[in-house]
Structure 1
Amino acid sequence: MIKTPFSALTAQAVLRRAAAGLVLLVLAAAPGAADIRSDTLQALREHYAKVPTMKGEFLQFGPKGEQSSGTFAIKRPGKVRFDYEAPSPIEVVSNGLAVMVVNNKLKTFDSYPLKNTPLKLLLDDKLNISDKAILDVSVSDDLTTVVLGDKQIFGDSIITLQFESETFELRQWTIKDAQGKETSVSVFNVENNVDLSNRLFQINKASYKRKN
């Protein structure tokens, strides 16, 4: 079964995989650690504000090691498209309000409110992350890692975002579910600030049957 970039391609589990039992990580109380977190998040916010659009390729690994790939495009706020390479018939499209998981072979789609999905964090026009949602921030020479959890956005799921430390370019995100299973998506060959038509983030609903 093909997994989507934000969770498993099954009903509500597509968008709200639980992570009960996972110990929440927090930053050390030392002032230096707090300063690192504050400076890092501010730099990420500034970078986000400068990159409203991007496109590139992605490579996805499921919890059983299954691999899939394809292309993606993002237009903030709220719009994204993932096209999986053949033989997968799957597309994932957000028009700014709803995330639609499309099966081009069966001519069906599922639709979910964007505000209830982890993709919302990636697609906001600004990196608006509340302090209570930040479970951990770590910085190495190569990667900056931010661990997020917010019940109001995506239930008990945990999402880990990884950025290049020097440029703050997004490189990978991972979602962990209630059973400890992880789905990771890495992006590469990324082009920033490209011209993307809003039509790219729409589907012809008249040609598909809605499943939910």
Structure 2
Amino acid sequence: MTASFTQTDRVGKVLTGTLTLKKPGKIRFQYEKGVPILIVGDGKALWFLDYSVGQKQRWPIGNSPLGVLLDPTRDMTKVARVVPGNDPRIISVEAADPKHPEYGRITLVFARNASAPGGLMLQGWVALDAQNNRTTLRLTNQQFNAPISDGTFRFNDPRRNSGPRR
């Protein structure tokens, strides 16, 4: 899947970009031009790259609120539940690992849509980190089943004098 995204953080700062998602467990947040940040999930880990300060951080996919979306080995019945709502066209799924509250919480929002895989179109999510900081991500222009190269989930190491990294 590819989609345009709008991300709003806890203080209301808005960033935009393109989201690329590929099973199993691969994701890329390519931010708008001029934003020196890249987030990539390569199927095993989630990488946060800040090219302005040469910083690279790694988390196992399961240690992130996005693990519910990316980790194919996770048993969703233990961490997720459908949240009742007023609109039958919208399905919200809230997930948090009760054994690891430090991983945060995420609520995925889907809309019923016959043209989407499984009849559900991912609209975005709200993530709360361990400090209760909220980040909202809204998706538009969702496209499905187009071929996506595994090279999409590679990146250049932001630390000086380092070569490409998978």
- TM-score band, normalised by the shorter chain? 0.7 to 0.9
Q: 2:135 aligns with which of 183, 186, 196?
A: 183
Higher strand share: 2
Aligned-pair CA distance for 1:127: 7.9
Query: How many residues get paired?
Result: 155
Coordinate RMSD, CA, aligned: 2.4
Name 1:133's counterpart in structure 2.
79
With the length of structure 2 as denominator, give the TM-score of the two structures.
0.81
Name 2:153's counterpart in structure 1.
201
Identity %: 29
Structure 1 segment 23-102 matched on structure 2, within 5 A? 54-102=1-49
Aligned-pair CA distance for 1:191: 0.6
> In the superposition, relative to structure 1, how do residues 73 and 105 fare at CA in structure 2: closer, same or farther (>3 Å)?
same
Name 1:173's counterpart in structure 2.
125
Structure possessing the higher radius of gyration over alpha carbons: 1
Q: Per-residue CA shift, 1:149-182, capped at 9, x if unaligned?
A: 2134663622111100343111011012455431
Contact 1:59 1:68 in 2 (8 A): yes
Q: Per-residue CA shift, 1:48-95, capped at 9, x if unaligned?
A: xxxxxx011100111111111101101111111101113210000111
- Partners of 2:51 and 2:4 in 1: CA distance: 20
Higher helix share: 1
1:105 aligned partner, one-letter code? S
Choose between structure 1 and 2 for higher RCO, CA contacts under 8 A separated by at least 6 residues. 1
Q: Does 1:120 align with 2:67?
A: yes
Unaligned runs of 5+ in 1: 1-53
- Partners of 2:3 and 2:16 in 1: CA distance: 11
SS in 2 for 1:121: helix
Name 2:51's counterpart in structure 1.
104
Contact 1:114 1:120 in 2 (8 A): yes
Contact 1:68 1:84 in 2 (8 A): yes
Name 1:22's counterpart in structure 2.
none
Contact 1:115 1:153 in 2 (8 A): no
1:138 aligned partner, one-letter code? P
- Partners of 1:200 and 1:108 in 2: CA distance: 20
SS in 2 for 1:82: strand
> In the superposition, relative to structure 1, how do residues 115 and 133 fare at CA in structure 2: closer, same or farther (>3 Å)?
closer
- Partners of 1:126 and 1:137 in 2: CA distance: 22
Unaligned runs of 5+ in 2: 114-118
> In the superposition, relative to structure 1, how do residues 111 and 126 fare at CA in structure 2: closer, same or farther (>3 Å)?
closer
